[in-house]
DNA sequence: ACAAGTACTTACCCCAAAGTATGTATCATG
DNA sequence: CATGATACATACTTTGGGGTAAGTACTTGT
């Protein structure tokens, strides 16, 4: 699981930043190139693993699962597996994940606005 | 600076993600451990370089300037230098930077809420 | 003469995030 | 009997973000 060197200034700073700064706390949860995109695709309804893969062709399987796992640990997405073969796994937003919607919307709004004017 | 290898899948993905996903676009601008904190300190009014340093003692000078530069390039903060000696430099938010306020607030709100309930 | 304050710059190193590539188990279908 | 689909796992390498430490140019205070 990408074992993190517990004794690194790097990680220590990350921790205290997350505790003292709620914005950084959010950043640690939805940061990274792929998480917002995954969250977006799940915001339109639950999806199977393979559906997500096809919806985001640029992402590698490793990255997809890795981030899905982290999002699960962070209690933002829910994994539901049907014990059948071939496997049938669906991912959906948890309530906490759904509550992120206004945040993502606010960000998207600002982003689009900023891209439009480029510089004010 | 930190010269970026232009031909890396890594950076390429970052670029296209930022173009196609406005949320990622925002993330690239205010991501990193220090940027939100710097932005927060500037949101309460313009500050001198040394004031910022004292306000955020954990940050190193290298990181401070590096991020201030990036924030300038991203048109979020404005640098004003009085041509005197000793140097007198103040940093303040640009209109675009100020417009970020509601976004940061939304994030902070969610963050605090999420920290409070931990898991729903 | 020397320390301290101003606002940086520069060289060097480490590490975690991201990418590449391949493997696994099970079943259905041609 | 081999290919494809499902949902992953895992070993290996690269690279960009971040940290450490030291230096620069100029002036004021002691």
| Tokens coding B28 | 């690239």
Shortest CA gap A84–chain B (Å): 29
* Alpha-carbon distance values, B29 to A3, A54, B87 (Å): 28, 28, 28
Domain membership of residue A15 (yes or no) is: no
Strand-pair category, B47-48 with B88-93: antiparallel
A110 Cβ neighbours under 8 A, 6+ residues apart: B22, B26, B99, B100, B102, B103
Domain membership of residue B108 (yes or no) is: yes
B31 falls in which pLDDT band (50, 70, 90)?
confident
Residue with tokens 């917002």: A36
* For chain A, percent of residues with pLDDT exceeding 70: 91
Distance, C-alpha A106 to centroid of its chain: 16
- Look up the CATH number of the domain holding residue A68: 1.10.10.10
Give residue-wise pLDDT tens across range B74-101: 999 999 999 888 899 999 999 999 999 9
Domain membership of residue B50 (yes or no) is: yes
> Which residues partner with A48 through β-bridges?
A90
3-state secondary structure at position B36: helix
B17 falls in which pLDDT band (50, 70, 90)?
confident
Give residue-wise pLDDT tens across range A8-35: 677 777 777 777 788 989 998 998 889 9
Give residue-wise pLDDT tens across range B37-60: 999 999 999 999 999 999 999 899
Nearest to B72 by CA among B42, B115, B103: B42
Task: Report the nearest residue to nucleotide D16, CA vs C1'.
Answer: B4
- Model confidence at A7: pLDDT above 70: no
List the 21-40 stretch of B: residues with Cβ below 8 A of A.
Answer: 21-27, 29-31, 33-34, 36-37, 40
Using a 7 Å cut-off to protein CB atoms, list the covered nucleotides of chain C. 5-11, 14-23, 26-27
How many other C-beta atoms lie within 10 A of the C-beta of residue A94?
Answer: 18
Domain membership of residue A64 (yes or no) is: yes
Question: Is A80 within 7 A of strand C by CB distance?
Answer: no
Distance, C-alpha A21 to centroid of its chain: 19
Domain membership of residue A105 (yes or no) is: yes
Nearest to B112 by CA among A19, A97, A110, A108: A19
Question: Is B57 within 7 A of strand C by CB distance?
Answer: no
> Which residues partner with B73 through β-bridges?
none
Distance CA B24, CA A31 (A): 8
The C1' atom of D23 and the CA atom of B75 lie apart, in whole Å, by: 30
Q: Is the peptide bond before B86 cis (omega within 30 degrees of 0)?
A: yes
* Alpha-carbon distance values, B27 to A5, A13, A86, B24, B84 (Å): 25, 19, 37, 5, 36
Distance CA B58, CA B61 (A): 10
Q: Tally the domains of chain B.
A: 1
B114 falls in which pLDDT band (50, 70, 90)?
very high
Q: Which domain holds residue A43?
A: 31-117
Domain membership of residue B46 (yes or no) is: yes
The C1' atom of C15 and the CA atom of A4 lie apart, in whole Å, by: 9
Distance CA A66, CA A74 (A): 12
User: What local confidence, expressed as pLDDT, does residue B51 receive?
Assistant: 96
- Model confidence at B6: pLDDT above 60: no
Q: Taking all residues of chain A, what is their mean pLDDT, rounded to a whole number?
A: 89
Partner residue opposite B96 with nearest CB, options A34, A96, A120 = A120
- Asked if A26 lies within 8 A of B102 by C-beta distance, the reply is no
Domain membership of residue A6 (yes or no) is: no
Distance CA B31, CA A35 (A): 13
The C1' atom of D23 and the CA atom of A20 lie apart, in whole Å, by: 33
Q: Does any CB of chain A come closer than 8 Å to the CB of residue B101?
A: no
Domain membership of residue A48 (yes or no) is: yes
């Amino acid at each position: 699981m990408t074992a993190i060197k517990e004794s690194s200034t790097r990680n220590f700073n990350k921790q205290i930043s997350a505790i003292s700064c709620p914005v950084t706390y959010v950043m640690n949860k939805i940061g990274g190139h792929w998480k917002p995109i995954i969250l977006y695709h799940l915001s339109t309804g639950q999806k199977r693993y393979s559906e997500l893969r096809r919806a985001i062709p640029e992402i590698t399987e490793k990255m997809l699962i890795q981030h899905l796992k982290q999002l699960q640990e962070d209690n933002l997405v829910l994994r539901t597996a049907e014990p059948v073969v071939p496997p049938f796994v669906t991912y959906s937003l948890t309530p906490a994940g759904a509550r992120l919607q206004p945040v993502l919307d606010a960000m998207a709004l600002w982003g689009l606005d900023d891209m439009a004017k480029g510089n004010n």
